[in-house]
Chains A and B, each alone.
Chain A
Amino acid sequence: EDKVVQSPLSLVVHEGDTVTLNCSYEVTNFRSLLWYKQEKKAPTFLFMLTSSGIEKKSGRLSSILDKKELFSILNITATQTGDSAIYLCAVCSGGGADGLTFGKGTHLIIQP
Chain B
Amino acid sequence: RKEVEQDPGPFNVPEGATVAFNCTYSNSASQSFFWYRQDCRKEPKLLMSVYSSGNEDGRFTAQLNRASQYISLLIRDSKLSDSATYLCVVKSQIGGFKTIFGAGTRLFVKA
The answer to whether A and B interact is: no
Instruction: Enumerate chain B interface residues (CB-CB to A < 8 A).
Output: none
